[in-house]
Structure 1
Amino acid sequence: MARRRKGRDISGWVVIDKPAGPTSTTVVNKVRWAFDARKAGHAGTLDPDATGVLAIALGEATKTVPFITDALKAYVFTVRLGAATNTDDLEGEIIATSDLRPDDATIKEALHAFVGDIGQVPPQFSAVKIDGERAYKRARDGETMEIAARPLYVESLIMLERPDADHVTLEMVCGKGGYVRSIARDLGEVLGCKGHVRELRRTWSGPFDIANAITLAQVEEMAKTPALDDYLGPLEMGLQDLPQVTASSEGATRLRNGNPGMVFAKDVEYGDECWAVHEGTAVAVGIYKSGELHPSRVFNPSDINGN
């Protein structure tokens, strides 16, 4: 018999304004400890030096993580022009330089090539796997790898300001799997002046906005006190991009047992992925078919309401 993980039956989302330095995993572990939660996960990694929105799911909310991972995200970042690094950010070694400094109009024109469905090659120092091993591990050993381009949807990429000739600040809204460092690197190549990321901040991710985030210092200060629970958002925040249907009492019972259940739907078509609610609480996520929801993920009501 498996041992039950220690911690509270607590579920929901907390939005952290991640500081520069710790890894995303370190922040998740700190938040889980502070809430005394049984399980926790995050919806989209930030590099250690990056700051901003890190949405962390606790308990049953971890089942909604895939729907946030797929959501659009916004980044504000500053590109240092005139130098390329082996990590494509400030922490790496400079591997190429240029005295060219393009004007604002040239930069704005170049940005158009990075909007829409593009192919992007991840950085050498990244977590992608090459022959079963993380790229960054092989890069640390001095190996240069051929990494295949990956598809990325970029909704927008705009220039916010030009602090000086050596720097440009941009804002990008993109889908999952995007590397801002690759955008900076490739923009530098297109402009002929080289480039790398100097600062990076995620301002929102799906429904989670930096305006509603708390700092890691605040989490540590309120750790394991009732005050911290006030910053926990509902599990349903992770389902906002999916259509909602309403389960009947009998349907909710069937869904919670993993069986198709009757739901009341509006503006939903056969085969759509939806989530069902009953008496204000999420019941399940599944596929809508002829008046029933066929569940793929079921939420435990005791864990949701136990917080």
Structure 2
Amino acid sequence: MNEPTPEPAHIPDPSDFAPFSRRVLSGKVALVAGATRGAGRAIARDLARAGAYVHCTGRLTSERPSDYGRSETIEGTASLIAGDGGLAEAHVCDHLQPAQISHVLDRIEAGHGRLDILVNDIGGEAYVDWGTPFWETELDTEMRLFRAGLLTHLHTAHTALPLLTRNPGGLHIEITDGTATYNANHYRQSIFLDLTKTAVSRLAFGLGHELEKAAATAVAVTPGWLRSEMMLDHFGTTEDNWMRDAFDETRTGPPRDFAISETPHLLGRSVVALAADPDRHRFNSTTQDTHGLAVHYGFNDLDGSRPDSWRFITALENDPAADPREFR
């Protein structure tokens, strides 16, 4: 018997989150590296909604389109922030080029004389060659993930931290994929993805130790199954219909497990909550997940839920019929 189709969840006003209405980050300056789309775009928008002046970087512009078929641009992110009533600047920047990062930091220093929040969100998952054994992959092609997902983070941190540490209380956030516990016990289906994402978490761990001397904090944060624009397009669904489509047995996609997915704004709200917390140093050197931070700080995703993706994924190992709706 087919299960009843869930009704679409009511989507409240995205500004319905206390730190936004209180503008708790007014006067703060943030840099979001990799803010063109998905998680980075949501993080940039949510930091701006909370009052921060956000510098957004990315490679993709209307003149330089995506090499994997995406239409989003870094100027588009700044335009959305302006439409939200926030303050932002867009910078075209390839974070594999330290000179370009230095130019952005020079602009930030000239304009503000400070940097309070740095978010390293550049990913590279679009370059994964799923299902191909490591020794059969094209090394130069697959190294794009490693370079985009890790080397950019090293370049950005090395260039930006002198300004971030100029004043006490700086916050450095690494966006990764997978909790420390999950990644310690599970192979991530690709040598390059596995190495890159575990290394990003380890980068936050190491930077936390070094930033301690500068009264600053480093944290890695992982989303669950991110319901980004690219993921919605991949499965041929929309933000209005994703839950219904996940349980529609007449469709080939999205899979049923997509019902555990979360919007990029759950990650954006996680970043805002950390940035607004005067006691955030308790998380220094750790890897946190969006569900745990949502519980700790008392916020929800846009539909009012708190998806617990990593607990659901683990539960599937013992019960393939586990219902994702019971983990929201």
Is this a same-fold pair by TM over 0.5?
no
Tell me which interval the TM-score lies in, with the shorter structure as reference length. under 0.3
TM (normalized to structure 2)? Answer: 0.21
Larger-Rg structure = 1
TM (normalized to structure 1)? Answer: 0.22
Does 1 or 2 have the higher relative contact order (CA < 8 Å, sep 6+)? 1
Higher helix share: 2
